[in-house]
Amino acid sequence: MNSFVDMPALLAAYRSARGTVYLVGAGPGDPELLTLKAARLLAEADVVVYDHLVGPEVLALVGPQARRIYVGKERSRHTLAQPDINALLVRLAREARCVVRLKGGDPFVFGRGGEELQVLAAQGVRFEVVPGITAACGVAAYAGIPLTHRDHAHSCTFVTGHLKDGSCDLDWPALARPGQTVVIYMGLAGLPAICERLIAHGLPPDWPAAVVEQGTLAGQRVVSATLATLADAVAAAGLESPCLTIVGEVVRLRDELAWFEPRTESAGIAASQPLTAGA
């Protein structure tokens, strides 16, 4: 095995990458769910490159010295194409000491973090990863829906409802198996088709499901229904992105475990507010 290391080339690559890019997960929304390391890096950063799902409460933690660059992507509307974002990160790393690439949730869960780091690695740019609480875990917890439970779900699957090519061609037979929880990111636009296909592949029409809007934030709303009625209930409630869809028997536990809101529900819809002491 050849163990030779071209040290001059290696040092040249590190010198060309003056700064470090920190790929940081901003969590699901509530700024108190940030890690200590994430909060420290936001305060120390020279540049923060942030996405659409990073809210103002998290951005308030960015130090006054930092340059802020918005590169958010919304459905059918992208501020920058992904190759341009990749090139921007490489350029900034050669201009600044501390570059924070800030993504909602966890950057390695449907956040394109791996794609961006591949480019940085190829260009010899130093980087570190700071995980965040992914939306599935944070939003489900604030909605009072445990993702696993010994009586209801022995596994949990995360999928995206919007693939790279714009389709929603998922492994429906695998997703329609009982005894598991399915969490669907970015599935609001395709919700009617998602529910129809899960039923067509074996789940009963009365299978529990929920959609959570603005999870972990003061404006959180939850619509709990069945696969047969969920799309109509969500449309009637006027829910908008960002939303997360949770499918499985664990949704039934929400009536018992919801803690982030007063128990003032109407037609399966709850407008969430944090509980206070003595409430």
Catalytic residues: 51, 73
d(CA 70, CA 166): 23
Residues 6+ away with beta carbon under 8 Å from 105: 25, 26, 27, 28, 53, 111, 132, 133, 134, 135, 138
Q: DSSP class of residue 129?
A: E
d(CA 182, CA 172): 11
d(CA 269, CA 260): 14
d(CA 18, CA 10): 13
The type of residue at 183 is V
State yes or no: cis peptide before 242, omega within 30 of 0.
yes
What six digits make up the tokens of 222?
Answer: 């939850």
d(CA 31, CA 216): 9
| Cα 93 to chain centroid, rounded | 25
Taking a C-beta distance cutoff of 8 angstroms, is the pair 201, 176 a contact? yes
